[in-house]
Structure 1
Amino acid sequence: MTDDAYLFLVDALPGPGWQGTPVSLVGELECLETPAVRAWLDAHETDATSAALRIAPPEQTGMIPEEAERLPVPLDGEELERVRRAGATDPVALVEEELLTYRDTEEGRDALLRKALAAGVPVHRIVELSGVDPTALPSTPRP
């Protein structure tokens, strides 16, 4: 795993398997205006609005197809959160939003933590979004 997110290009749309998150779903990213990214896009005769331009957060870079053209890009914390949310499945995205809201209240804590685990939200994301101590998480998700 790397600390950088990666921009990459996919050839066939839609194709089987993981295709990453279209940059157009994420919104504006500062890195898209840097000379390095603009030169990379120009070299591949594409731009930031292309349906073939995708982005992967650091924890998903191992899933980028080996043959894909790729470029590491730094993202700030807010941009990285938008990339992660844009690429999350609907159930995971909904639970992650609840975890962010949870920071302001303790009501329903255990039920929400179980729900997040059952939805497949990774433990590190639950801790990051909710601020809960990892040892406070239930050991097994319950419905």
Structure 2
Amino acid sequence: MTDDAYLFLADTTAGSGWQGTPVSLVGELECLETPAVRAWLDAHETDVASPVLRIVPPEQTGMIPEDAERLPVPLDGEELERVRRAGATDPVAAVEEELLAYRDSKEGRDDLLHKALAAGIPAHRIVELSGVDPTALPTPPRP
């Protein structure tokens, strides 16, 4: 895993599988105005509004197609959260919002932690969003 997010050009004709989050859904990112990113976009004859320009957070870089043109980009904490939320499915995004709200309340902790695990949110992400100690996470039930 890398510490950088990645911009990449998705093959929108493939029609199969997940191909990152369109940058246009994330909003403004400081890295998009850097000379390196501008030159990369120019070299590929695209811009930030293009539907083929996608972004993934560091933990999802393994999902970038091998043959895709890619560029690592640094994001600050707030930008990284926007990238993660923009790429989350609706149920996951809703549970992540609850985890963020949990920081200010301890009510229903166990139910919320179970709900987050059941939604498929990785344990490290639950800890990051909720602020709970990793040892406080319940053990998921075995299938």
Report the aligned-residue RMSD.
1.3
With normalisation by structure 2, the TM-score equals 0.96
Alpha-carbon separation, structure 2, partners of 1:126 and 1:14? 33
Structure-1 residue corresponding to 2:69: 69
Question: Counterpart of 1:111?
Answer: 111
AA matched with 1:86 = A
CA drift of 1:15 comes to 1.4
CA apart distance, 1:77: 0.4
1:17 match: 17
Contact 1:114 1:141 in 2 (8 A): no
SS of equivalent residue, structure 1 residue 140? coil
CA contact (8 A) 1:6 1:70 kept: yes
- Alpha-carbon distance in structure 2 between the residues aligned to 1:11 and 1:92: 25
The answer to whether residue 19 in structure 2 is matched with residue 5 in structure 1 is no
Could you list the runs of 4 or more consecutive aligned residues of structure 1 that deviate by over 6 angstroms after TM superposition? none
1:10 deviates by 1.1
Letter in 1 for 2:90: D
Q: 1:77 to 1:93 in 2, by over 3 A?
A: same
Residue of structure 2 equivalent to 1:82:
82
1:43 maps to which residue? 43
CA distance in 2, matches of 1:46, 1:99: 37
Q: How many residues align?
A: 142
Letter in 2 for 1:48: V
Offset at 1:17? 1.1
Structure 1 counterpart SS, 2:71: strand
TM-superposed deviation, 1:12? 2.4
CA contact (8 A) 1:5 1:56 kept: yes
1:95 to 1:105, Cα distance in 2 relative to 1, 3 A: same
| C-alpha displacement of 1:14 | 6.2
Is 1:53–2:78 an aligned residue pair?
A: no
State whether residues 115 and 141 of structure 1, in contact with CA within 8 Å, keep that contact through their aligned partners in structure 2.
Answer: no
Q: Does 1:27 align with 2:27?
A: yes
CA distance in 2, matches of 1:80, 1:141: 31
Give the stretch that moved more between structures: 7-16 or 33-42. Answer: 7-16
Unmatched segments (≥5 aa) in structure 2: none
Seq. identity, %: 85
Q: Which runs of 5+ in 1 are unaligned?
A: none
Q: Using a 3 Å threshold, how does the CA distance of structure 1 residues 14 and 100 change in structure 2: closer, same or farther?
A: farther
